[in-house]
Amino acid sequence: MTPSAVLESALYVTDLAAAERFYGEILGLEPAGKVPGRHVFFRCGGSIVLLFNAEATRDAPPPAARLPVPPHGAVGQGHLCFAATESEIDGWKTRLGAHGVAIEAEFEWPQGGRSIYFRDPSGNSLEFANPSIWGL
């Protein structure tokens, strides 16, 4: 047996309100859940992007939690890549620029495909890339 897909990906943020605005308003992801001060979740195609306040998740489940999710957390900048076509990458460059989000890097991969990199308000490295960079 092998896994068929990544169902959810987690990033750790320092300001949940700023992250919620960024991922919801600028990236246009659909909200999927929220516990103030602890986490905010978004739908992204067939998966979920989990944004956690690491300080609130490192030691224990939230108070009165229905499910005993084990503690987890990370310190420092993470990375997440969103799939995009070549024309969508151009559209994202325009949209991000209109919101004052700087493109940190842009390049063509030797095996084909293109990526743009930028940061969320917590400094996480985000990318839009054509799936062809992985032969997909």
**Which pLDDT tens digits describe the chain residue by residue (136 residues)?**
988 889 999 999 999 999 999 999 999 999 999 989 989 999 999 999 999 998 888 776 666 667 677 777 788 899 999 999 999 999 999 999 999 999 999 999 998 999 999 999 999 999 999 999 998 8
Q: Which residues contact 120 (CB under 8 A, 6 or more apart)?
A: 11, 13, 19, 22, 23, 126
CATH number of 8-56+77-134: 3.10.180.10
Residue reference for tokens 């151009």: 90
